Amino acid sequence: MRQLKSELELAEMLRAENAALFIFVDWSEYARCGKGIFEEAEAEFAAASNSRISRWIVDVSSVDASPNPALYQWLKTQEQPGKVRVFPSIAMGDGSVIWIKRGEAVRFEPNVARSGAGGLAQRTAGILAES
């Protein structure tokens, strides 16, 4: 899993065929637990496939830190009707995951603890199977 720390890395993630982004905040117990679940799902999925998905984590504890303003702008574009809804869930620090295909958010899990590692791995496999 790579840390998303700059606008260049954000652009790289959005160019990827498939990506999963974990939203972390340091003040949330849900996010701290969710990070472990996401890492476990990552290992489970990598063991079961050729891992055709780039995996990222971004710390949004400080909204002004790079790449957060640019990430926020991109997320706002995904909030248009018919697209994945991520607000207000990510602002609540629930430990969310956004799956991205070619720069567009295609799925959203507001709280990874609800799905667990196995559920996240299955959802990732399903997303990759979609064309």
Catalogue all structural domains in the chain, each as residue range(s) with its CATH number: 2-124 (3.40.30.10)
Q: Which residue has the higher pLDDT, 128 or 117?
A: 117
Average pLDDT in the chain: 89
Which pLDDT belongs to residue 48? 63
Distance CA 72, CA 124 (A): 23
Q: 75-100: per-residue pLDDT in tens?
A: 999 987 777 888 877 878 899 999 99
pTM of the model: 0.91
pLDDT over 80 (residue 109): yes
pLDDT over 80 (residue 51): no
Q: Which has the closest alpha carbon to 95: 73, 114, 67?
A: 114
Q: Which has the closest alpha carbon to 78: 97, 100, 58, 56?
A: 100
Which pLDDT belongs to residue 80? 76
32 phi and psi angles, rounded to 5 deg = -65, -45
Dihedral of CA 20/86/84/111: which sign?
positive
